[in-house]
Structure 1
Amino acid sequence: MKKVAIFGQVYKDSHEKHLSTLINTLNKAKASIHIFKDYANSVQQTGLTFVDNLELFDTTTQLDESFDALITLGGDGTILRAFNLINKLNIPILGINLGRLGFLATVQKSEIPDAIASFLKSEYTIDERVMLKVKSNENQKEFTTLGFALNDLTIAKKDTTSMIGVDAYLNDEYLTTYWADGLIISTPTGSTGYSLSCQGPVIMPNTNNFLITPVAPHNLNARPIVISDNTIIKLKVLRREDQFLASLDSRVTAIDVETELIVSKADFSAKIITLKDHTFINTLRDKLLWGQDTRNKFSNKQ
């Protein structure tokens, strides 16, 4: 019998059919179902009762490695928030896409019954994705962990329209000073996120790399660079204002400008359940329309 947790951030009326299908499919298989408390409350406020008898959880202390999966309902942002919730727990995530693009949440609404059937029969693989660990020495104290990110760390200006300057060091060797609107340190998973919008390359998830991508750089010779994920990256923001913004997977913190950040590979990985035909390469073709060319009827090879 499978034991699963269900996580969502925002419940909408349009989700009713899909959530009901998910729960009914799991119930028929006699799975043990636990649902995020705030999400369940949002469902119940609409008068729906199909979540009434489910076990609830609201903190990571109520999750453990006896769970076979955490199933998310939403988009990629929901998966990122879910990884922040489970953190170092060895629980794989299966993402159902109720959002838009969906590089991580690859199960589409119409695929829920078949996808859950495959999951229940253990017909899937688990992709392990590298995560970033970010430390800071705010207030000139010793370095402490600021947080973790599956996609990226973004440094951005806070209270000015001027560009921001960031000194970057790789393994204590000075790389360059980026003058830009911001700077992104990305994992391979995050290469299809904000970095891609800033002209960064797509990196296969199983490569051992990090990616440094400037945001709208003011020096035209500044280009994205791919480095080993064993590299220790140190970042110093040049003083032009009192604070800057650091975003870890969209969790934004205002940080004093004197603070240095150290970015490295986390000592644990994120685990994503991948079903048949939902591989990263398939997702690239589907989401980025790679190979789609109406001029060439042979461009869409299967």
Structure 2
Amino acid sequence: MSEAGQAAWGPGGRRHVLLAVHTGREDIVDLARSSAARLARAGMTVRVLEDEAEQLGIPGAEVVPADADAARGAEIVMVFGGDGTFLRAAELARYSHAALMGVNLGRVGFLAETEPEAVEETLTAIERCEYSVEKRLAVEVEIVDASGDVVAGTWALNEVSVEKAQRSRVLDVVIAIDGRPLTSFGCDGVLFATPTGSTAYAFSAGGPVVWPDVEALLLVPTNAHALFARPLVTSPDSLLSVAIPPDGNRARVSADGRRAFDVPDGGRVDVRRAARPVRIARVHPATFGDRLVAKFGLPVRGFREARRHDPGQELPPSRNVLMRDVVSVPAPGTAREEVHGGAADHDA
């Protein structure tokens, strides 16, 4: 689900952009500073987080505490860093109308919208409100004790992980869907993931890749000792539960790898769709399939089209589908045609 940037932000009043920056690298800090200067020249108010302000040293920036009010009234939360920085920024943007715009300066950076070389194009889109906003499903979590009382709660954009507290012992779990028991087994843990998180921890655990506009919840066991321990894809309105027997191993809950809680003996973890989605701004027209190809370096030519014997058939490193470069495969003995945003170049 998406909406136009102009519709999401009215033209009246001063526009605010909050920066969330991985300040541990000087190149990231320099890029954040230059981006802030350009946004300020365009008449936008730049906010920085209190714990990052000194390292960023951006003149004229509005300094705000890193709490639930940091992004209130902001149009964009611009993230400079990897997926970890993006998830930290999502905590700030969650209870506001602000959309997250990520510049990938990490490794894979699946949540980010753009790469560093395309920052100027991204800033132009922000200035002109030429972006769309995707609404990504998030999940809410409740930790329930043996008497049925809720003792803790949190939320996640990617996944909730229920893990064994003692590495030397197997975690016994009972899985229930919509309050009805489904199966039980011993395992290292259970993942409850969103479509956005299907390319994160759940992907590493053997879960399916789900397109982010699909509304669904994922349940992925990790290292389960059972025949029926396959990843499950359920309705987005389902209630997913995992109960921990009182005589079993202790368990803990981790939300997006950032917020952790212990599960009481004989307790239960309930996961359901969150009432509020997370808003992510998009500038580039690349599809999710394009992102999979670019981020994972997937082969796209097909083995039957190859006329060589080496194993690699990936796109050349200089080509990036996120930058709208398309490489076509020529027939044997013909010239190669490369298409760059609609213009064709012919090489002999």
TM-score with structure 2 length normalisation? 0.79
SS at match of 1:140: coil
- Contiguous gaps of at least 5 residues in structure 1: 44-48
Partners of 1:299 and 1:86 in 2: CA distance: 37
Distance 1:155 1:61, change over 3 A: closer
Are 1:268 and 2:276 an aligned pair? yes
Are 1:24 and 2:37 an aligned pair? yes
Q: CA deviation at 1:266?
A: 0.7
Q: How large is the RMSD of aligned CA atoms in angstroms?
A: 2.2
Q: After superposition, what is the alpha-carbon deviation per residue over 1:106-165, rounded to whole angstroms, capped at 9, x for unaligned? A: 311111111111121111111100110111223735236511100111010112322211
SS at match of 2:51: helix
Question: Which shifted more, 234-243 or 220-229?
Answer: 234-243
Partners of 1:40 and 1:241 in 2: CA distance: 47
Number of equivalenced pairs: 296
Q: Is the 8 A contact 1:69 1:94 kept in 2?
A: yes
Q: Look at both structures and tell me which one has the larger radius of gyration over its CA atoms.
A: 2
Higher relative contact order at CA 8 Å, sep ≥6: structure 1 or structure 2?
A: 1
Q: CA deviation at 1:294?
A: 8.6
Q: 2:267 aligns with which of 235, 244, 259?
A: 259
Are 1:7 and 2:15 an aligned pair? no
Q: CA deviation at 1:208?
A: 1.5
Q: CA deviation at 1:171?
A: 0.9
Q: 1:224 aligns with which of 207, 231, 248?
A: 231
Give the equivalent residue in structure 1 for 2:345. Answer: none
Question: Which shifted more, 241-250 or 71-80?
Answer: 241-250
Give the equivalent residue in structure 1 for 2:62. Answer: 55
- Contiguous gaps of at least 5 residues in structure 2: 1-13, 307-312, 316-325, 328-348
Map 1:161-240; keep pairs closer than 5 Å: 161-239=168-246
Map 1:65-144; keep pairs closer than 5 Å: 65-138=72-145, 140=147, 142-143=149-150
Instruction: Provide the identity percentage.
Output: 23
Q: 2:291 aligns with which of 262, 283, 286?
A: 283
Q: CA deviation at 1:289?
A: 2.2
What letter matches 2:260 in structure 1?
V
Distance 1:85 1:299, change over 3 A: closer
Q: Is the 8 A contact 1:25 1:113 kept in 2?
A: no
Distance 1:16 1:84, change over 3 A: closer
Partners of 1:299 and 1:243 in 2: CA distance: 45
Question: Which shifted more, 144-153 or 288-297?
Answer: 288-297
Question: Which shifted more, 85-94 or 30-39?
Answer: 85-94
Q: CA deviation at 1:4?
A: 0.5
Which aligned segments of 4 or more residues in structure 1 are displaced greater than 6 angstroms? Answer: none
Q: CA deviation at 1:278?
A: 4.2
What letter matches 2:270 in structure 1?
I
Are 1:244 and 2:257 an aligned pair? no
Distance 1:104 1:255, change over 3 A: same
Partners of 2:184 and 2:148 in 1: CA distance: 24
SS at match of 1:60: coil
